[in-house]
Structure 1
Amino acid sequence: MFIVSIDEDLCSGCNSCTEGCPAHLLGFSEDKAHVVGDESECMGCESCTSVCPTEAISISEM
């Protein structure tokens, strides 16, 4: 299982991560990314981290 962490101070609101996540776990609220899906569905593929231009997202294994 993986934990997705988003640093809201670094998030620019570009929306790249929501388009990059194959599990559709990320969404936007108040122009910042948030985990909106079931985090247990995270595959740890790091697609969201690789497309984030500000490196606001990190994934760690639980």
Structure 2
Amino acid sequence: MATNPVKFINETRAEIAKVVWPTRREVVLTTIMVFIMAALMAAFFSIVDLGIRQALQLVLTSFGS
């Protein structure tokens, strides 16, 4: 099935024209939110890791030699 390249390009341009691009403010705000969420997740998992490490160390020293 052969497609017409000109038709394809015209349809592609028509679809791109329908895209609603975000404003600069929206991009900046969502970028800031991503950095905040990444920092919160890093802190959360660091605390969880520290807690698991402490618990495991307690168990190993309790049952160790």
> Normalising to structure 1: TM-score of the pair?
0.18
Q: Which has the higher contact order (CA 8 A, sep 6+)?
A: 1
Alignment TM-score, normalising by the size of structure 2: 0.17
Q: Which has the higher helix share?
A: 2
Which protein shows a greater Rg? 2
